[in-house]
Amino acid sequence: MTTVPLEAPTRRTAGAGLRGVATADVDRHDRLALMRTGELGSVHSWELVTAVDGPGTRMTLFVSGCPLRCAYCHNPDTMAMKDGDPVLASEILDRVRRYLPVFRATGGGLTLSGGEILMQPAFAGRLLHGAKEMGVHTALDTSGYLGANATDAMLADTDLVLLDVKSGDPETYRAVTGRELAPTLTFGRRLAETTDCEVWIRFVLVPGLTDDQRNVERVAAYAASLNRRRAGTVTRVEVLPFHQMGRDKWASLGMEYSLEDTEPPTPEAVEAVREQFRAQGLTTY
């Protein structure tokens, strides 16, 4: 596998749309039935990217629906599942097939992102399995909050998990996301103990929200603990500086945005946090 180092990872906004991917013409009843079997998903957009969301050139699929309400969410337009477009799994897999030469040449593949991909586990399972049958590298980009929805079969079809650990301290996690931290930690331990998945930990550094030194320390200690459970589980930690790229989306959705006045962290602050991870023996970008 070719791994492209990310010198300056950033949080990205979701893709521009469904360009070339057909939406399914189904009524509400059929839509729900097909979603249960995973033949249909609620999709926001997709994008072809290089050196983000996993190794090589990737097709990243952004699905709709997320149980978290992150204060810094850069894709608030993906939060509601009902706002997504109905797309057949076979339609996505056709698109993956088209890019096989690119994936092979670059060591890339398919990344399932959102929103929260584990809100649609049957759809995710079909895509992962279909991609694996084509020999394509697969990645799940998830908060881990719904990790219990991931079946063992799904994880056997997953090469890489981009695990967003939004905070190490449960109270801060609640303040950031409105939900509990524990399911994410449990999911990461399961990945280390019962799967062969490679894990990249992602941590968004938000001044005044997640940047408390003890909070960072807990994320770093947790990431290191996964490598004690299975050596080589966490191969990379990405410290992503908060940015204001999602601000306009919040405004256009009429949603209240609490980080209006928050500045991005300084390069020095980002580097200091990366040092905290390095001190735990982790490879950090």
Site residues for ligand SF4 per CB under 6 A:
66, 68-70, 73, 75, 78-79, 114-116, 143
Closest distance to ligand SF4 from the beta carbon of 264 (Å): 16
Q: Could you tell me whether strands 137-142 and 85-88 are parallel, antiparallel, or unpaired per DSSP bridges?
A: unpaired
**Max CA separation in the chain (angstroms):** 54
- Based on CB atoms, which residue is closest to ligand SF4, 106 or 111? 111
Q: What's the rounded Cα separation, in Å, for the pair 85 and 132?
A: 24
Closest distance to ligand SF4 from the beta carbon of 112 (Å): 13
- Based on CB atoms, which residue is closest to ligand SF4, 136 or 206? 206
- Based on CB atoms, which residue is closest to ligand SF4, 74 or 130? 74
Closest distance to ligand SF4 from the beta carbon of 79 (Å): 6
Closest distance to ligand SF4 from the beta carbon of 25 (Å): 27
What is the sign of the dihedral through the CA atoms of 88, 95, 8 and 248? negative
- Based on CB atoms, which residue is closest to ligand SF4, 70 or 81? 70
Dihedral class, residue 144 (left if φ above 0, else alpha if ψ from -120 to 50, else beta)? left
Closest distance to ligand SF4 from the beta carbon of 279 (Å): 27
Dihedral class, residue 54 (left if φ above 0, else alpha if ψ from -120 to 50, else beta)? left
Dihedral Cα 28, 144, 213, 178, nearest 10 deg = 40
Closest distance to ligand SF4 from the beta carbon of 143 (Å): 4
Tokens describing residue 243: 């940015």
- Based on CB atoms, which residue is closest to ligand SF4, 79 or 205? 79
17, 64 in Cβ contact below 8 A? no
Q: What's the rounded Cα separation, in Å, for the pair 86 and 76?
A: 19
Half-sphere exposure of 191 (CA within 13 A, CB side): 32
Closest distance to ligand SF4 from the beta carbon of 113 (Å): 8
- Based on CB atoms, which residue is closest to ligand SF4, 34 or 219? 219
Q: What's the rounded Cα separation, in Å, for the pair 62 and 196?
A: 24
Tokens describing residue 79: 């939060």
- Based on CB atoms, which residue is closest to ligand SF4, 148 or 153? 148
Q: What's the rounded Cα separation, in Å, for the pair 195 and 199?
A: 11
Closest distance to ligand SF4 from the beta carbon of 26 (Å): 25
80, 19 in Cβ contact below 8 A? no
- Based on CB atoms, which residue is closest to ligand SF4, 114 or 188? 114
